[in-house]
Chain A
Amino acid sequence: MEIRSNEFKERSVFAIHDANLQTALGRAHYGFVGKRALQVAELPEFEQLREEAKNLKNHVLDNLDHYLARYEQAVTAAGGRVHWARDAAEAREIILGICKRVGARTVTKGKSMVSEEIDLNDALIEHGMEVVETDLGEYIIQLAHEPPSHIIAPAVHKTKDQVSDLFEAAHGGPRKTQIPELVDEARRVLRDKYFRADVGITGGNFLVAETGSSIIVTNEGNGDLTQTLAKVHIITSGIERVVPTLDDATLFLRLLARSATGQETETYTTISTGPRRADDLDGPEEYHVVLVDNGRSKMLAGRFRDMLRCIRCGACMNHCPVYGAVGGHAYGWVYPGPMGSVLTPLIKGLDAAYDLPNACTLNGRCQSVCPVKIPLPELLRELRHLQHQQNITPVMQKRALGVWRFVATRPKLYHALEQLAARALSALSRRGRIRRLPLAGGWTDSRDLPAPPGRTFLELWQGKRGQK
């Protein structure tokens, strides 16, 4: 997916004026936020689980090499194969190789953010394969030729009418307008694809070192049909997704659905271990896991290591007022919202996504709902620091900060300027406010500026108390 994160400002303005999008975002927001709150209220151990989950992820990261090696051993023992991909290009090459070897013509896909990250679909299509997204939300945006706008609900920005239009154009036949009809039509169309698929590709929420299993959670069952009916099952997953045992995975299972959609559990939690056995009546003949690094091992080294705890639940973006105002497409790449604002610059480069770490008030709601307690505001600030150090910050801003520092470290000068400002702004004001202020259009275009009384507190205090 081409990265367009530097179009954030224009896209966000466009999004704010998109009435359909605003309606869709409002609906999703109250669903996800409200339902999660109910789940949290019903589980007294929730906060305890968050703390344990954070610690468990940290333990895994501290021993990532060990757990990856154990995982690979167990996958191999179960009859599967592990492939290691240093970057997106290598991951694509591996998957293309497998697909070409088996003569794949139809490839079905369960939802995998990593597969978007590595630009997999286009590569498969370029080699003449039909690629079919089976998660209903992903299917909708595939028809729309759009990227996902949310990591859990990829088509959250679409209205029912828009879906009707897409289905009518893609499937032919009479236009369906009711949601049950639309879902039934998708079910019918996709069922055919599942049975025709040569390769099924899914993500991996968790990779279990104990058993060499991958775990996916879905509500639809599409990941299951994808992996069971195709001849080859390929799992694309980041290297940070490994957990030691099934009992460890359980800790995250208790947090994931509650945090993501406000459900106690998703409909299907599936633990896949290797290809079909000799006496199985169905299942894939081959089982491949593509472990993707793509910058993750580097992240482990520095100040952004905490980001590797992420379990891709989407709670942060559900609760982020900026995401809530502009939706996911404004962020311009695979991962939106707070977690996307940290990951995008780290994976694609600081200068590829200047606005993302800056379009944030550091309000901290994201961190407060993150099931693994990632200090997102702190990480975003660190990215700003890197931008400042590497001169990616606009020159004007650096100069302004330089001036501010110069003045603020000279109290007498600072106070003199404040007093000047107090008098000037007071003089410009009418009836207690300033309606228009040159150079401050960012404020006064939509807000009045409350007028200062004309004397600063410190002046008045010195006047009253004669203190020094």
Chain B
Amino acid sequence: MTPSPTAGPRVGLFATCLMNLFRPNVGFSAVKLLEDAGCIVEVPASQTCCGQPGYNSGDYDAARALARQVIEAFEHFDYVVGPSGSCMATIRHDYPAMFAGDPQWLPRAEALSKKSFELLSFLADVRGAAATVDARYAGTATYHDSCSGLRGLGIKGQPRALLDEVDGLRLKEMEDSEVCCGFGGTFCVKYPEISEKMVDDKVRNILATGADTLLGGDLGCLMNIAGRLKRINAPVKVFHAAEVLAGFADGPGLADAPKESR
């Protein structure tokens, strides 16, 4: 099927395990933002996981098995976009490394890598979508820079540029926004005391800003921080930036009770 010259790019949405299980609202936000930016969005039903848990645990075989699955599910799209710096960095950087020396899979991994993007940077850098943001959010937010997005994919200014277009939203930077929150995948349950100390440092910096909202681009980090904020009864709402940008942040934030709404 040849796409018509006026149709936008076909984007395969990479759902991510955490979003799929814990926060579908982020997925729907992503679809809306991508469609508003002129993309045709599909969600391959067969997708499961990017393979990062295996890769980071040193089980490269398992990681490759999952990577092959992802490559097959997504390689026919114009772009693969996911609401997670962590997962998309795995696809962009780790997939080619995983298949080094493999004449069959390396070219396919490299091809997929080139068209794989984290959501917010895709909207800002590839689609120039700041102009299409049409949302309102009354509040002061601070932003946590997830490590893989920041250092793996260079995501820093893009979320802020997009959030700048949200009416009513005031952004206040926290100290050490770029320092790891202590999630780190299985790290947070393997070394819980260290993780707790790291998330406490992050929470302290968030509270010091006086912001009523925390935003970020990765659910792992956001769930980690939200979980700690709730445990200490801190009155800070946590959303994925995509939810605010799509105007879908009028319901409960992460770990908020269902009846709470703005």
Closest to A325 in B: B197
Interface string of A380-421 (1 = CB under 8 A from B): 011111111100010001100110110011010011001001
Residue A456, interface by CB 8 Å: yes
Q: How far is the CB of A435 from chain B (nearest CB, A)?
A: 8
Docked pose: A432 CA to B55 CA in angstroms: 32
How many residues on chain B are close to A (CB under 8 Å)? 72
**When each residue 356-371 of chain A gets 1 if its CB lies under 8 Å from chain B and 0 otherwise, what string results?**
0011111111011000
B255 x A433 contact (CB < 8 A): yes
Query: Is the beta-carbon distance between A16 and B69 smaller than 8 angstroms?
Result: no
Given A409-B66, A447-B227, A467-B42, CB of A16 within 8 Å of CB of B194: yes
A468 proximity list for chain B (CB < 8 A): 45
Given contacts A362-B56, A408-B66, contact A446 B180 (CB under 8 A): no
Q: Tell whether, in the assembled complex, residue B48 and residue A443 are in contact, meaning their CB atoms are under 8 Å apart.
A: no
Taking a contact as CB atoms closer than 8 A, the residue among A405, A449, A453, A465 that contacts B24 in the complex is A453
Contact of B179 among A321, A393, A445 (CB under 8 A): A321
Q: Is B106 an interface residue (CB 8 A)?
A: no
Nearest chain A CB to B100 CB, angstrom units: 11
Is B182 engaged at the interface, CB distance under 8 Å to the other chain?
A: yes
C-beta contact mask, A1-27 vs B, less than 8 Å → 1, else 0? 000000001001100100000000000
How distant is A459 from chain B, measured CB to nearest CB, in Å? 8
- Closest Cβ of chain A to B47, distance in Å, is 7
Q: Is A129 an interface residue (CB 8 A)?
A: no
A441's nearest neighbour on chain B, judged by CB, is B192
- Contacting pair B24 A457 (CB below 8 A): yes
Do A421 and B257 contact each other (CB < 8 Å), given the known contacts A384-B57, A408-B48?
no
**CB of B190 within 8 Å of the partner chain:** yes
Q: Does B38 contact A (CB under 8 A)?
A: no
Q: Is A442 an interface residue (CB 8 A)?
A: yes
Interface residues of B in 216-232 (CB under 8 A from A): 223-224, 226-228, 230-231
Beta-carbon contact of B196 and A446 below 8 Å: yes
CA distance A408 to B51 in the complex (A): 9
Per-residue CB contact flags for chain B residues 26-64 toward chain A (1 = under 8 Å, else 0) read 111000000000000011011111010111111111100
Of all chain B residues, which has the CB nearest A411? B46
Tell me if A462 is interfacial: C-beta within 8 Å of chain B. Answer: yes
Contact B20 A456, beta carbon cutoff 8 Å: yes
Evaluate contact between B257 and A432: CB separation under 8 angstroms: yes
B65 beta carbon closer than 8 Å to chain A:
yes
Main secondary structure of the interface of B (DSSP, over half): helix
Partner of B54, one of A16, A405, A411, A458: A405
Q: Decide: B20 and A418 in contact? CB cutoff 8 A.
A: yes
A188 at the interface (CB under 8 A from B): no
Our pick among A364, A408, A465 for the contact of B152 (Cβ within 8 Å) is: A364
Complex-state Cα separation, A453 to B251, whole angstroms? 12
**A386 in contact with B69 (CB, 8 Å):** no
- Using a CB-CB cutoff of 8 Å, which residues 142-201 of chain A contact chain B? none
Residues in chain B near residue A442, CB distance under 8 A: 188-190, 192
A-B pairs with lowest CB-CB distance, top 4: A361-B184, A442-B189, A447-B227, A384-B58
Q: List 21 A-B contacts (CB under 8 A).
A: A13-B193, A16-B197, A362-B147, A363-B180, A364-B151, A365-B179, A365-B180, A401-B53, A401-B57, A404-B53, A404-B54, A405-B59, A405-B65, A411-B45, A442-B192, A443-B227, A447-B230, A449-B227, A457-B23, A467-B43, A468-B45
Closest residue on chain A to residue B43 by CB atoms? A461
Contacts A361-B180, A422-B21 known; A367 to B191 CB distance under 8 Å?
Answer: no
Which of A365, A409, A449, A457 interacts with B19 by CB under 8 Å? A457
Shortest CB–CB separation between residue A233 and chain B, in angstroms?
A: 42
Q: Is the CB–CB distance between B24 and A363 below 8 Å? A: no
Determine if A397 and B48 form an interchain contact, defined as CB atoms under 8 angstroms apart: no
Least Cβ distance of B67 to chain A in Å?
Answer: 11
Partner of A401, one of B46, B62, B223, B255: B62
> Which residue in chain A gives the minimum CB-CB distance to B86?
A362
Kindly state whether residue B256 has any CB partner on chain A within 8 Å.
Answer: yes
Chain B min CB distance to A228 (Å)? 43
> Whole-angstrom distance between the alpha carbons of A461 and B61 in the complex?
31
> Which residues of B are found within 8 Å of A414, using beta-carbon distances?
48-49
Report if A101 contacts B (CB, 8 A). Answer: no
Question: With A381-B55, A442-B190 given, can you name 11 additional A-B contacts, CB distance below 8 Å?
Answer: A321-B180, A362-B184, A363-B151, A367-B151, A421-B21, A432-B257, A433-B257, A442-B188, A453-B25, A461-B43, A467-B45
Nearest CB in chain A: distance from B87 CB, A: 13
**Contacting residues of chain A (230-263) with chain B, CB-CB under 8 angstroms:** none
Chain A residues, CB < 8 A from B65 = 405, 409
Most buried by B among A363, A364, A433: A363
Task: With CB as the reference atom, state the residue of chain B lying closest to A461.
Answer: B43
